[in-house]
Amino acid sequence: MENAVPVLEIGLVLLGAALAGVVARRLGLPAVVGYLLVGLTVGPFTPGYVADREQLETLANVGVVLLLFEVGIELDLRALRREPRALMVAAPLQVALTIALAALLLGAIGVEARGGITLGLALALSSSVVVVNITRSRKRTTDPETERTMLVWAILQDVTTLVAVAALTVLLFPDRAGAPYAAILGMIAFFILAVGVNALVVPRLLRWIRREQDSFIIVAVSIALATAGIGSFFFGVPLALAAFVAGLGLSLDPEAREARREILPFRDVFAVLFFVAIGSLVDPQALVANAVWPVAFVGLVALRSLLVWGLAAAMRIPGRPAQIAVGLGQVGEFSFIVAALGLAAGVVDSAQFSAVLATATITIVLSTVGARLFPRAAARA
């Protein structure tokens, strides 16, 4: 009977999130708004029922892993050569400039340099989860060029994170003998191993079981989860980033693209729990008591959107610069990883960490709604 409680809880949370998503859509809002509100409702910081946070986070991690694994597969490495060179430069440049700007402004209000750099990196990264949802929404007003630019820009941010997190580890933990450098070598080793194995071994396995539809689905999902788990446990690579690298290694194979299609239903179910988990982590009372941080962080994300707009326009990147800037104007999954790293190092306090979560919630809503506020006719033109 005890085992029935967690199953019932997840079922009710999913049902509540689905209904809230429908209501949000009927009101002209994205479904993610409903998911976030359900998370806030079942979180420990609001009155009433409190869901099992560990269980929610575990299932949310599954959703993020499947989503970024699928995003990695969808990004054809060969196609990157055909992407505008300006875009390949603009995304890493935007991350670097955002870090510098945030460190400078936060330093002016008393945040130490390492804390400013950490928070700057957290606020420099858009959410690939949200960008994918924006580009696939039935009510989107984006054109194909804008959608492609937003997705590739977000993915390039994720790739930049691989290097940035390694450098940040050295900066935050300089006294751990050899540990930061071991982390960097671990990330590099995993990247090479995952791309190599997934490119050479996994496609052959998928072709071998191609006719067994049920086994094909199971193997496709298990590859995503297992590779991400191995990267995180043995190499110290964040789960979401490990999943993306694993998918990237499969992006050249047609069988993997079939696996991507099979993963989609699983991804959609678990991705809902990702947004519910974000909402459940927000503490409204702590945010009111330390309102300066969410206000400052949301302001920095707004400045980052202006920076994206300026770079996209100045470099003549395909798409609509303003809509690209709005669509990328949120923080998400990798931001939590970076902020948690700063919290562990003692350069980010709990109030600032909570403010990062709140900023994610606020900016996700603003960007998903704002990305639609562009004339559809202009998008088609």
Total structural domains within the chain: 1
What is the domain-level CATH number for residue 335?
Answer: 1.20.1530.20
Rounded mean pLDDT, 320-329: 94
Rounded mean pLDDT, 135-151: 86
Q: How confident is the model at residue 379 (pLDDT cuts 50, 70, 90)?
A: very low
Predicted local distance difference test score (pLDDT) of residue 177: 42
- Quick check: 79 pLDDT over 70? no
Predicted local distance difference test score (pLDDT) of residue 188: 67
Rounded mean pLDDT, 333-346: 82
Full residue range of the structural domain in which residue 37 is found: 4-380
Rounded mean pLDDT, 130-157: 86
Predicted local distance difference test score (pLDDT) of residue 153: 92
Rounded mean pLDDT, 151-167: 82
Chain segment 230-282, per-residue pLDDT in tens: 877 777 677 777 777 777 766 666 666 666 676 777 777 777 877 787 778 77
**Average pLDDT across the chain, whole number:** 80
- Quick check: 102 pLDDT over 90? yes
- Quick check: 21 pLDDT over 50? yes
- Quick check: 353 pLDDT over 80? yes
Predicted local distance difference test score (pLDDT) of residue 286: 77
- Quick check: 302 pLDDT over 90? yes
- Quick check: 314 pLDDT over 90? yes
Residue 53: other Cβ atoms inside 10 A: 15
- Quick check: 150 pLDDT over 70? yes
| Choice between 301 and 200, residue whose per-residue pLDDT is larger | 301
Rounded mean pLDDT, 106-131: 91
Predicted local distance difference test score (pLDDT) of residue 1: 53
Lowest mean pLDDT among 79-83, 327-331, 340-344, 351-355: 79-83
Rounded mean pLDDT, 218-225: 78
